[in-house]
Structure 1
Amino acid sequence: MEESEAADSSKSRVRLVASTGDRTLQQDSPSSRSQKKGQLHGYFESAQWTADGTTILTTSSNNQIDGYILPPDLLDPESSPHALNPQVTIPLSERTNVLCPAPYFQLSEAYTNQILISSHDLPIQLYYLYPPPAPTSSNEDGNHNTNKAVNHQPASSYPFMKAHSETFLSATAMLWPGPATHFVAATKNLLAKFDVSRTGEEPLLRIKTIPSERHLSKGGGVGMRGTISTLAAHPSSSSDSGGLGLVAAGTWTRWVGLYDFAQAGDCVAAWGIESAVDRTAERGRRPGVGIGGNGVTHTVWSPCGRYLLVSERKSRGILVYDVRVTGELLGWLEDRDAAGSNQRIGCDVFPAGEAAGGGFEVWSGTTDGTVKVWENVGMREGPHAPAWDWRGHESTVGSTCLHPAGSVIATCSGAWDFAVQDKEVDSDSGATKSCAGDQKEAKRLPAWMRRSNKESSLKIWCLDSGDGDKEAE
């Protein structure tokens, strides 16, 4: 009885105000029209707010970026839930690893609607989300006729190459903080600082995370070895350093490093997190069962800048470090339920008021479509259970991001389903159908080809203190 009451209470805390619906079932969507025959429909991989809170940018598994402008009456209960459709779509020729919107993004000012993208075998490129249409012809009076179709082409590019070669490096993580004069790109064993105004030029600064890649032990045990998968700027970064002060970097090899770009990128500290994860099995609520992990996917600073959250793939929790004592684990957030997937599952933070007991909140999705919220983080040591949750999707929630105002939450979901054994994929719809006469042929295919789409959607929620008459859908 108590569990059902808790579930009802969680549902009444949020209200669905906008949704794209399940995009894997939408045959007439722009994304489905761009599909090649025999290719499955893509799913949402990540979502993030622009700086002004008016637009949501998403990346998809089918190599495209979508922009969703939220309606002005988003929170009007009489018109909810709204149907979300992308106002702009940028198809990419190669898969993108990272997407960074400009920290000065203002929807009303077209020249600020910029995004940085890094794709495989290409330089880092800057796009305008809504580029002005170019004139195509002129009539007898000399007036130009414009082509209303938007053609997205890179406005600037920044070559990121190996030293003494012409091989492009793909940025595996990128950071573009305010006031946006510089940005940082990262790849294996390397951090690079670029000047946004110097288009076509190489990095101003290169920082190796290990002394040498030619050493027999790849750095001789010094520094942080591995591909850098995430970057996060400290909240108190100084504007004198172009918005780049202390930066937290994480690697697939389960290391975390702090680099001070106000001091030419000096390494302040670096430590491995494997031993900390092992301690969660010793001190957890369930003896012998830790949170696990297989490579850092996100580093996130607390709003106050005292704590650093470290999230891994295939992990059942999130580590919380007190950076005032470098490398010392304060505690961990339990029951994130992401141990069965290699997907990136993002989290977000928001400051809690004094009335809520201090600390800060952490919001994160799980592989079963549930969104969980931890409250008063930073106020206790050891294991920390979620305060409440709600079921928002039917597949992995890749991103959970809060609007700057704190009362609106965006979540996106999507995943491949590899449990398809005696089914084949319908090349026209991306759905699966039974293989009555061709089961043997289907079974000859590799496991990664015997897959289907799970539910994939982008949803907008608002915190609702009402009577909860509209449940989460």
Structure 2
Amino acid sequence: METQDGPSQDRIKLVASTGDITTGYGTSLKATDGDTEAARSQDSTVSYFEKAQWTADGTTLLAYSSTNLVSGYIVPENLLTAGNELTLEPQAAIQLPETSIVLSGAPYFSLAEPWTQQLLVSARDHPIQLFCLTPSSSPSSTASTHPPISSYPFTKARSETFLTATSLIWPSPGTHFIAGSRSLLARFDLQRTGEEPVTRIRTIPSERHLSKGGGVGMRGDVSALGGQLMDTGNGVGLVAAGTWTRWVGLYDFTQAGKCVATWGIAAAVRETHMKSEQSEETRGIGGDGITQTIWSPCGRYLIICERKSRGALIYDVRVMGKLLGHLTGRDALGNQRVACDVFPGMNKNSGFEVWSGTSNGVVKVWEGVGSLEGPHAPAWEWAAHQSTIGNACLHSSGAVVATCAGSWEFPDGDDELADDSPSNSGQSHSNDSEGDSDVEAHSTADQMPWTHRRNKESSLKLWSIGGAPTLTQDAE
């Protein structure tokens, strides 16, 4: 495997970045209210990037931070010709009132048409909401706090209690979207503002009794949804739903959400343990709940990623529930979501590529996926960040890859007292005024280890890929 601690100019090159926003110089902090303190939480830890995604036209990156801020970064026109590293500045921002569980940009997003610049957001105890990403008048202006342009109630049929959409996909052409909740899938009509879903599909026959239906289906929160692209380019074929309880279901929404197959992946993970006994991965890939289901570009293979995992499972959906192989070395060892992306291979018979970040800030690339059975090691990698990479997403042209990283860490033992992070330094300054307050503060901190957390590096970066086609934008 080719390893790159410092990416070579001919393979991968850093072309734009926000810089480390935890240092106080990050541009995304300005998008709150012009004061970096506004981007801090109550315990003085700074905001960090959690996830990012390309818009449908490839002109903009949508980034979500831990302070519930959604920012839009328009890719500079001279990204690949500037010759030096550019600085990414947010051109639009929305300050969400609640923590977002999932969000999705419009599949018809176009930089040239402001009305298309929309995104769906799901939060606990709220309807699913549609926001418009209004451009800011200046990089340092206040983030938009205007209300959503429409909302879509998602409630229990009998009690009218709000359900939380724990997963969401918004496929082309954008007239409908699909949300997942506890043992339930729902399809909404975007034009029916204020209305319940037009279709509800239960993933188990009954919520109240496990024995009903003989245990058919899959129980648990639907934590991941992935749509299989259709040959026509519009809509999705099969929708792959994954749960925290480690089950996968395939549903056909071209036939009113008919269930095609369901299976558990725990046995497949044990199979990776047996297949890896002759290699360094003697423990298998592990896993503790599905975080992503993503289809190959050809729509034949399904990749399943889990939290607390060292790999990913690969299924050939022509043989339902049978494991084809698994990726090794994908270290997503925490609870934080680590999403991967796929891209077509050099030719149709050579498989496809998988790009993924890891918990230690390294991006890894697997080539020829789908062409081999059993364990599949990464072909090459490079150190992109110093913290967990939540996303490594490729531009549709294949010329640029965006990486989004950020996390907290929890020092233990004597490291807590020596730590000079914003969290602990702020605490010590506030306790200097009274002599007995230090004892009380340490006692309280021992009871609440959450207050000892400190920020690791967090940034959004764009990398050019050597030998890739030229990046183009649809906007004029």
**Same fold (TM > 0.5):** yes
Task: Give the superposition deviation at 1:149.
Answer: 8.3
Q: Aligned pair in 2 of structure 1 residues 10, 307: CA closer, same or farther (>3 Å)?
A: farther
In structure 2, what residue type is equivalent to 1:118? Answer: S
1:236 is matched with which residue: 226, 230, 233?
230
CA contact (8 A) 1:11 1:390 kept: no
* Residues in 2 aligned to 1:11 and 1:100: alpha-carbon distance in whole angstroms: 33
Larger deviation, residues 365-374 vs 420-429: 420-429
Show the counterpart of 1:142: none
Question: Which deviations, in whole Å up to 9, do the C-alpha atoms of 1:363-421 show, x marking residues without a partner?
Answer: 00011100000000000000000000000000000100000101100001111101254
* Residues in 2 aligned to 1:132 and 1:197: alpha-carbon distance in whole angstroms: 27
CA contact (8 A) 2:136 2:143 kept: no
* Residues in 1 aligned to 2:97 and 2:10: alpha-carbon distance in whole angstroms: 43
Query: TM-score, normalized by length of structure 1?
Result: 0.88
In structure 2, what residue type is equivalent to 1:345? Answer: V
2:447 is the alignment partner of 1:445 = yes
Show the counterpart of 1:99: 103
Question: Which deviations, in whole Å up to 9, do the C-alpha atoms of 1:14-73 show, x marking residues without a partner?
Answer: 110111111111167325342355332121110000001111001111112111111111
Show the counterpart of 2:17: 19
Larger deviation, residues 434-443 vs 287-296: 434-443
2:376 is matched with which residue: 360, 368, 384?
384
In structure 2, what residue type is equivalent to 1:46? Answer: K
Question: Which deviations, in whole Å up to 9, do the C-alpha atoms of 1:275-334 show, x marking residues without a partner?
Answer: 000011101123742000000000000000110000000000011000000011110010
CA contact (8 A) 1:128 1:152 kept: no
Question: Which deviations, in whole Å up to 9, do the C-alpha atoms of 1:201-220 show, x marking residues without a partner?
Answer: 11000000000011045764
Q: Alignment identity in percent?
A: 54
Secondary structure (helix, strand or coil) at the match of 1:281 reads helix
Show the counterpart of 2:474: none
* Residues in 2 aligned to 1:425 and 1:120: alpha-carbon distance in whole angstroms: 38
Secondary structure (helix, strand or coil) at the match of 2:271 reads helix
2:76 is matched with which residue: 71, 94, 106?
71
Equivalent residues, number: 446
Secondary structure (helix, strand or coil) at the match of 1:449 reads helix
* Residues in 2 aligned to 1:407 and 1:116: alpha-carbon distance in whole angstroms: 27
* Residues in 2 aligned to 1:363 and 1:448: alpha-carbon distance in whole angstroms: 32
* Residues in 1 aligned to 2:232 and 2:2: alpha-carbon distance in whole angstroms: 47
Question: Which deviations, in whole Å up to 9, do the C-alpha atoms of 1:230-262 show, x marking residues without a partner?
Answer: 1111111767xx724310110000011000011
* Residues in 1 aligned to 2:379 and 2:65: alpha-carbon distance in whole angstroms: 31
Show the counterpart of 2:361: 369
Show the counterpart of 1:57: 62
1:251 is matched with which residue: 234, 243, 253?
243
Q: Aligned pair in 2 of structure 1 residues 229, 376: CA closer, same or farther (>3 Å)?
A: same
Runs (5+) with no aligned partner, structure 1: 134-146, 467-473
1:329 is matched with which residue: 312, 323, 337?
323
Secondary structure (helix, strand or coil) at the match of 1:71 reads coil
Query: TM-score, normalized by length of structure 2?
Result: 0.87
Secondary structure (helix, strand or coil) at the match of 1:233 reads strand
CA contact (8 A) 2:362 2:381 kept: yes
Show the counterpart of 2:113: 109
Runs (5+) with no aligned partner, structure 2: 433-437, 469-476
1:352 is matched with which residue: 324, 345, 352?
345
Residues 108-127 of structure 1: pairs in structure 2 closer than 5 A: 108-127=112-131
Residues 73-92 of structure 1: pairs in structure 2 closer than 5 A: 73-78=78-83, 80-92=84-96
* Residues in 1 aligned to 2:275 and 2:421: alpha-carbon distance in whole angstroms: 51
CA contact (8 A) 1:426 1:433 kept: no
1:168 is matched with which residue: 159, 162, 170?
162
Secondary structure (helix, strand or coil) at the match of 1:203 reads coil
Q: Aligned pair in 2 of structure 1 residues 366, 377: CA closer, same or farther (>3 Å)?
A: same
Secondary structure (helix, strand or coil) at the match of 1:250 reads strand
* Residues in 2 aligned to 1:343 and 1:149: alpha-carbon distance in whole angstroms: 26
Residues 409-428 of structure 1: pairs in structure 2 closer than 5 A: 409-422=401-414, 423=416
Q: Aligned pair in 2 of structure 1 residues 247, 313: CA closer, same or farther (>3 Å)?
A: same
Show the counterpart of 2:252: 260
* Residues in 1 aligned to 2:454 and 2:421: alpha-carbon distance in whole angstroms: 13
CA contact (8 A) 1:368 1:396 kept: yes
In structure 2, what residue type is equivalent to 1:200? Answer: G
Larger deviation, residues 423-432 vs 318-327: 423-432
Show the counterpart of 2:187: 193
Larger deviation, residues 214-223 vs 202-211: 214-223
* Residues in 2 aligned to 1:369 and 1:180: alpha-carbon distance in whole angstroms: 34
CA contact (8 A) 1:58 1:67 kept: yes
RMSD: 2.8
* Residues in 2 aligned to 1:275 and 1:444: alpha-carbon distance in whole angstroms: 40
Show the counterpart of 1:271: 263
* Residues in 1 aligned to 2:52 and 2:375: alpha-carbon distance in whole angstroms: 28
In structure 1, what residue type is equivalent to 2:397? Answer: A
Larger deviation, residues 390-399 vs 436-445: 436-445
Q: Aligned pair in 2 of structure 1 residues 10, 326: CA closer, same or farther (>3 Å)?
A: farther
In structure 1, what residue type is equivalent to 2:64? Answer: T
* Residues in 2 aligned to 1:352 and 1:37: alpha-carbon distance in whole angstroms: 46
